[in-house]
């Protein structure tokens, strides 16, 4: 059942030892909503309805109500609430908040506060998150590109990002186009700088030869140490 747009008031409601989040609306009737990340179930009723009427509605639909509560047991299977993600080497825990009003991501202390519409699937939640990561990564690439190109003395026509499984970056030499792995967002910024320099170096030397390594030694003397960090899987 879908919720209506306008909510006038929100309050807690408890019945038969179960906690609900009650939304008061200008629309007729009672509605049973979704399970929230904190384990409460959302309910909706019209401002002219009474708590007594609401209890009656719950009684009549109690089986259905319990089914929604049951979803909480496998909450982790349908939201990314509580999951950890790394941004620039720092760990953040997702605090997922269902909201019809806004869709945005806020980073506060060690929390990734993520407002998302109630019907968003787990896969969509992760997609939205990674689109946000892409913005952060692109911003960082832009701030590093001039320095990296000056160091390597070569220029790439285009820098692009995508999720990749086996490589941190690739360089299309003919098109002078460099792809960087979206997962670089998880590692500290030195790792990004290293991969950018590595891919730029391919514009000077196609293969991973001694000549290639000599360039890297010149461009980033500690590249071997930084490279090791990229071999550590962030959990
Ligand atoms: Zn390479």
Q: What single-letter DSSP state applies at residue 200?
A: H
pLDDT above 70 (res 57): yes
CA of 208 to the centre of ligand 1 (A): 6
- Please give the Cα distance from 138 to 156 (Å, whole number): 15
The pLDDT of residue 34: 82
CA of 79 to the centre of ligand 1 (A): 36
Give the three-state DSSP class for 30.
coil
pLDDT above 90 (res 2): no
The pLDDT of residue 1: 44
CA of 207 to the centre of ligand 1 (A): 7
Q: What single-letter DSSP state applies at residue 233?
A: P
Question: Which among 125, 121, 45, 20 is positioned nearest to 83, based on CA atoms?
Answer: 125
Tens digits of per-residue pLDDT, 221-232? Answer: 999 999 999 987
The pLDDT of residue 177: 98
Tens digits of per-residue pLDDT, 123-173? Answer: 899 999 999 999 999 999 999 999 999 999 999 999 999 999 889 999 999
The pLDDT of residue 98: 75
CA of 47 to the centre of ligand 1 (A): 64
CA of 75 to the centre of ligand 1 (A): 41
List domains and CATH numbers for the chain: 9-75 (no CATH), 76-120 (no CATH), 129-231 (3.30.2010.10)
Tens digits of per-residue pLDDT, 13-28? Answer: 999 989 999 999 999 9
Residues near 219 by Cβ (< 8 Å), separated by ≥ 6?
151, 152, 197, 201
Tens digits of per-residue pLDDT, 66-123? Answer: 988 887 666 556 789 889 999 999 999 998 887 777 778 999 999 999 988 877 888 8
CA of 85 to the centre of ligand 1 (A): 26
The pLDDT of residue 126: 92
Residue 58 near residue 65 (C-beta atoms within 8 A): yes
Reported pTM: 0.71
Please state, for a pLDDT cut of 70, what percent of the chain lies above it. 92
Query: Encoding tokens for residue 47?
Result: 């401002």
User: Side by side, which strands form the sheet with 9-15?
Assistant: 9-15, 18-25, 41-46, 31-35
CA of 87 to the centre of ligand 1 (A): 24
pLDDT above 60 (res 3): no
pLDDT above 70 (res 233): no
pLDDT above 50 (res 235): no
Please state, for a pLDDT cut of 90, what percent of the chain lies above it. 73
């Amino acid at each position: 059942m879908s919720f209506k747009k306008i909510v006038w008031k929100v309050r807690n409601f408890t019945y038969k030892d179960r906690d609900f989040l009650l939304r008061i609306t200008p629309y007729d009737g009672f509605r049973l909503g979704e399970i929230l990340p904190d384990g409460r179930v959302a309910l909706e009723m019209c401002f002219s309805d009474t708590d007594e009427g609401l209890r009656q509605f719950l009684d009549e639909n109690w089986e259905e109500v319990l089914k929604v509560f049951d979803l909480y047991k496998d909450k982790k299977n349908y939201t990314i609430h509580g999951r950890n993600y790394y941004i620039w080497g720092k760990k953040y825990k997702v605090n997922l908040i269902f909201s019809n009003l806004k869709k945005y991501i806020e980073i506060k202390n060690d929390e990734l506060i993520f407002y998302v519409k109630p019907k968003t699937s787990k896969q969509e939640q992760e997609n939205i998150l990674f689109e946000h990561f892409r913005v952060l990564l692109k911003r960082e690439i832009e701030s590093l590109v001039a320095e990296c190109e000056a160091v390597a003395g070569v220029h790439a026509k285009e820098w692009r990002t995508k999720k990749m499984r086996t490589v941190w970056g690739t360089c299309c030499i003919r098109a002078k186009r460099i792809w960087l792995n979206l997962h670089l967002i998880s590692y500290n910024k030195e790792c990004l700088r290293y991969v950018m320099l590595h891919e730029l170096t391919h514009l000077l030397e196609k293969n991973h030869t001694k000549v290639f390594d000599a360039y890297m030694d010149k461009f980033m003397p500690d590249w071997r140490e930084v490279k090791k960090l990229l071999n550590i899987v962030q959990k």
